[in-house]
Copies of this chain bind each other. A is one copy, B any other.
Amino acid sequence: MTKQEVAERFQIPIAILEEYESWGLCDSVRQVMDVWEYDDRDIERLSLIMTLHDIGFSKEETFEYMRLYLSERDTQAERLSMLNRRRSDSLDEIHFKQMQLDRLDYLRYEL
């Protein structure tokens, strides 16, 4: 499939596809006559990349995670550590927002 076909069929933003290509991590994305050809494995990886973005990973963190994911050596512990760090940051953000809500409710109560 071409980039355009992938973008339309799987609702993947062109920006994500270009990010993916720019990494040059995957030998499975092949350039044929100036057009990238995506196969099923690419789609699977792109789905993971979208999930990483969705859970709040930056571009750089997503790249790092995918580099580990596609590595030939065992990187499970490193990836788990990245996810755990993100999880801890997410929890902090949620607690901060909940504290904001408490202050807001106090202001409403005072009115």
Contact = CB atoms under 8 A, between A and B. Distances in A.
A83 interface: yes
Interface residues of A, number: 25
B101 A83 contact: no
Contact of A56 (B56, B76, B86, B100): B100
Given A94-B98, A97-B93, A104 B86 contact: yes
Interface in A22-58: 51, 54-56
B87 A54 contact: no
Interface of A: 51, 54-56, 76, 79-80, 83-84, 86-87, 90-91, 93-94, 97-98, 100-101, 103-105, 107-108, 111
